[in-house]
Amino acid sequence: MLVAGLDVGSLTIKAVVLEDNTIKDFTIIPTGAEINKLTKDCLELTLKKTGDYFKDLKIIVATGYGRISIPFADKSITEITCHALGANWLNPDTRTVIDIGGQDSKVISVDKEGRVVDFVMNDKCAAGTGRFLEVMAQALGVKTEDLGKESLKSRRKINISSMCTVFAESEVISLIAEGCAKEDILRGLHEAIANRIGSMANRLRLENTITLTGGVAKNTGMVQALKKRLKAKVYVPPEPQIVGALGAALAAQKMAGNNI
């Protein structure tokens, strides 16, 4: 049985094609103005890789911010439920999911069936999200992909106090002016975000294992900082960015199963 999950996020669109409970393939592309068309493209790209056709898809479930703008999806589910489902499938020991995406970070408590027990999300500003890190990376002249690698080189601790994107940027600029090393500033930023996410996570009952999802989980510096702050068992899936889409596909599979 062939199904698809689409995660239309604020920065990236992710598609996962699932057949009989195994991932056949996936695609990640940046979000743009024409969400509907881009999402369709993203799905078609994936289908091309798997050699399947759109009409073969039993059910399509959409999630993420743009989920309601996808007319060809059979159902829309929030990314909170989806990240929980995906993380549970990848690692059934998951009791907490931390999804750090482009504009949101979320902490989700899940039970052993992957059902959401409780969740919290960040305030409306971008502090502590991927977007925030991108702005900082730009200010420091570092590529987003290299954020983790660079910050792990740090030998010295710097405290960053502002968490507002605008203020933090100017703080970073003054630190550069004072001659601080790039990697130390980066580590400071990562630790500041980890603190912020850590105290948000503390609003829930944090239980092991904690699974990190969302694009920012690919940032090894962030993973390191979070591990240090959370003092818990942390699991990072091989491709954390697609966990939401995977969850959507799993939900689709369940729906399709119910229909038979």
Partner 1 sequence: MSDDFNDDFKSGLIKKIAKNSHIYELGNRGARIYFRKSSKSFKLWLDFLFYQLKEAGKRKRPVVWTNIYTPSELIYSLDLFPIYPELISGVLASVGLANYFIETAESKFYSTDLCSFYRVAAGLVLKDWFPAPDLIISSAQLCDGSTKFFHNLSKYYNCEHYLIDSPYYDDEEANSHRYLVAQLKEIASKVDKITGRRLSQERINYVFNLANQTREDILKINELRENIPSPLSGWDAMAYILYMFFSSLGTKKGWEFYQTLVQEVKEKVDLKRGAIREEKHRLLWLHQIRPYYPNEIIQNLQENKGVISFEEVSQVYWGALNPQRPWESLAQKMAANFGVGPIERRIKVIYDLVKKYKIDGVIHFSQRGCRQSCGGAYIIKDFLQEKGIPMLLLDGDGADSRNYSKGQTRTRIEAFLEMLS
Partner 2 sequence: MKKIMKREWLDFIKQQEGIIALAAHKKPKKPIMSWVCTYTPLEIIIAAGFYPYRLLPAHIDPSLANSYLDSNFCPYVRSCLGEGLTKKSAYLDNLIIGNSCDAMRRLYDAWRHYVPGSFIYLLDLPRNNSPKALEYYQYNLQRLIEELESRFAIKISEDLLYQAILVSNKTRKLLTELSHLYAKERISISATEFLQIIQEGMISPPEEYNIFLGKFLDDLKKEENILLTDSQIKDRPKVLISGTVMDNLEIARVIEDCGGKVVFVDMCTGERYFSEPITLGETKRSRSDLLRLIAEYYLNKVPCPRMVNLEKRWTYLLKVIKDYEVKGVIFYNLKFCDTSMFELPVIRERLQKSGIPTLCLEGEFASAISGGLKTRIQAFMEVLEFV
What b/e sequence results for 108-143 when a residue is b if at least 16 CB atoms lie within 10 Å of its CB, and e otherwise?
A: bbbeeebebeebeebeeebbbbbbbbbbbbebbebe
Task: Sketch the per residue contact string, 135 through 154, with ligand ATP: x for CB under 6 A, - otherwise.
Answer: ---------xx-xx------
Among 27, 81, 94, 219, binds partner 1 (CB under 8 A): 81
Residue list 186-205, contact with partner 1 (CB under 8 A):
203
CA distances from 256 to 67, 77, 178, 232, 253 (A): 19, 15, 59, 36, 5
Number of neighbours of residue 20 by Cβ within 10 angstroms = 9
Among 7, 79, 171, 239, binds partner 1 (CB under 8 A): 79
Distance in angstroms (rounded) separating the CA atoms of residues 232 and 210? 7
Task: Sketch the per residue contact string, 122 through 141, with partner 2: x for CB under 8 A, - otherwise.
Answer: -x------------------
Is-contact 15 42, C-beta < 8 A? yes
Sign of CA dihedral 175, 179, 181, 182: positive
Among 161, 231, 258, 260, binds partner 2 (CB under 8 A): 161
Residues 6+ apart with CB under 8 A from 125: 164, 165
Q: How far is the CB of 189 from partner 2 (least distance, A)?
A: 14
Q: Does 86 bind Mg ion (CB under 5 A)?
A: no
Task: Sketch the per residue contact string, 43 through 82, with ligand ATP: x for CB under 6 A, - otherwise.
Answer: ---------------------xx-----------------
User: What letter represents residue 117's amino acid?
Assistant: V
Is-contact 94 260, C-beta < 8 A? no
Q: Does 101 bind Mg ion (CB under 5 A)?
A: yes
Q: Does 150 bind partner 1 (CB under 8 A)?
A: no
Q: Does 114 bind ligand ATP (CB under 6 A)?
A: no
Binding site for partner 2 (CB under 8 A): 123, 159, 161-163, 167, 170-171, 173-174, 195-196, 199-200, 202-203
